[in-house]
């Protein structure tokens, strides 16, 4: 089994969805960005590395009808489907590594990633990620990427992480995407630690 996939499967075996450090009851900032750039409920939204997050639940509740969740961990997807129950049938579930996945071209109005990109510590992985995003986001569609900010942790879940300020994240996505907005957020983990996150909103050019 792929080492990364095994790592994430182990994380999701060891901890429940509300115990993981990145758990938030609702991804309020993400939801606000999504509703701002894609108010139509038929907009196609993909959550990259969605794991067991509550974003899919909240998008269903808000009436979105074309939601996809991609994650490298089969276990995370299974756990999320089980937790959602019947509404899980409304979601397209994709299992794979975002850097390698055969993602559909010009398919999505919104690409959302909270806390995945900062695990890509090799330039080649980041380049593949940006290519996948550029291929699958429609022209004028949007990308919401949330990473650890400059004061964020250097490791998460036993893995090294990169930290970004707005200019550094813009430099990663700048050739295919135009920066439209950015915001910092202090996230309180379930064990009451504070973690700085940067959210950047980009538009596909
Ligand atoms: C820190 S968690 C964040 C989960 C979720 N986005 C949230 O905010 O609650 C990172 C997630 O990304 C997934 N992941 C890590 N590397 C990935 C990759 N290369 N491709 C797809 N998913 C990945 C993990 O399995 C995990 O679910």
87-109 pLDDT per residue, tens: 999 999 999 999 999 999 999 99
The answer to whether residue 18 sits within a structural domain is no
**pTM tops 0.85, yes or no:** yes
| The pLDDT of residue 161 is above 90 | yes
pLDDT at 174: 83
Domain-embedded: residue 121:
yes
Residue 159 belongs to a domain with what CATH number?
3.40.50.150
Q: Is the residue at 167 inside a domain? A: yes
Instruction: Write down the residue that tokens 């707005």 correspond to.
Output: 166
Average pLDDT over the chain, rounded to an integer: 97
For residue 19, is it within any domain?
no
Residue 92 lies in a domain: yes
Going by pLDDT thresholds of 50, 70 and 90, the confidence category of residue 183 is very high
Per-residue DSSP letter, 144: E
- Atom 1 (ligand 1): residue with closest C-alpha? 115
Helix (H) or strand (E) holding 201: strand 194-204
- Domain holding 69, by residue range, is 3-13+24-204
| Chain-centre distance for alpha carbon 19 | 18
Q: Confidence band (pLDDT; 50, 70, 90) for 1?
A: low
pLDDT at res. 2: 87
Ligand 1: residue whose CA is nearest its atom 11: 49
Backbone φ and ψ for 66, nearest 5 degrees, come out as -130, 80
Could you tell me the distance, in angstroms and rounded to a whole number, from the CA of residue 106 to the centre of ligand 1?
22
- Closest to 47 (Cα-Cα) out of 68, 78, 18, 28: 68
| Structure tokens given for 87 | 């509404």
Average pLDDT over residues 104-124: 98
Q: Which residues contact 80 (CB under 8 A, 6 or more apart)?
A: 17, 50, 51, 52, 53, 56, 69, 88
130 close to ligand 1 (CB < 6 Angstrom): no
Q: Which is more confident, 175 or 28?
A: 28
The tokens describing 75, both together, are 């276990």
- 195 belongs to a structural domain: yes
The closest of 171, 112, 172 to 142, measured between CA atoms, is: 112
What percent of the chain is modeled with pLDDT above 90?
Answer: 98
Does the C-beta of 145 come closer than 6 Å to ligand 1?
Answer: no
Q: State the total domains in the chain.
A: 1
In a domain, 80, yes or no: yes
101 with 70: CB under 8 angstroms? yes
Q: Compute, in angstroms, the gap from residue 138 CA to the centroid of ligand 1.
A: 23
């Amino acid at each position: 089994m792929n080492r990364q996939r095994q790592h994430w499967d182990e994380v999701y075996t060891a901890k429940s969805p509300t115990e993981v450090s990145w758990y938030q009851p609702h991804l309020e900032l993400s939801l606000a960005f999504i509703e701002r750039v894609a108010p139509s409920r038929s907009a196609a939204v993909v959550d990259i590395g969605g794991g067991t997050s509550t974003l899919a639940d909240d998008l269903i509740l808000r009436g979105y009808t074309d939601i996809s969740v991609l994650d490298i961990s089969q276990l995370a997807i299974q756990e999320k489907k089980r937790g959602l129950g019947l509404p899980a049938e409304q979601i397209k579930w994709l299992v794979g590594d975002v850097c390698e996945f055969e993602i559909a071209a010009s398919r999505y109005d919104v690409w959302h990633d909270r806390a995945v990109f900062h695990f890509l510590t090799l330039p080649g992985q980041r380049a593949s990620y940006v290519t996948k995003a550029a291929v699958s986001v429609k022209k004028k569609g949007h990308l919401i990427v949330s990473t650890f900010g400059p004061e964020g942790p250097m490791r998460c879940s036993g893995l090294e992480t990169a930290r970004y300020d707005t200019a550094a994240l813009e430099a990663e996505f700048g050739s295919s995407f135009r920066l439209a907005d950015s915001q910092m957020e202090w996230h309180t983990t379930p064990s009451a630690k504070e973690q700085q996150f940067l959210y950047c909103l980009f538009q596909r050019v």
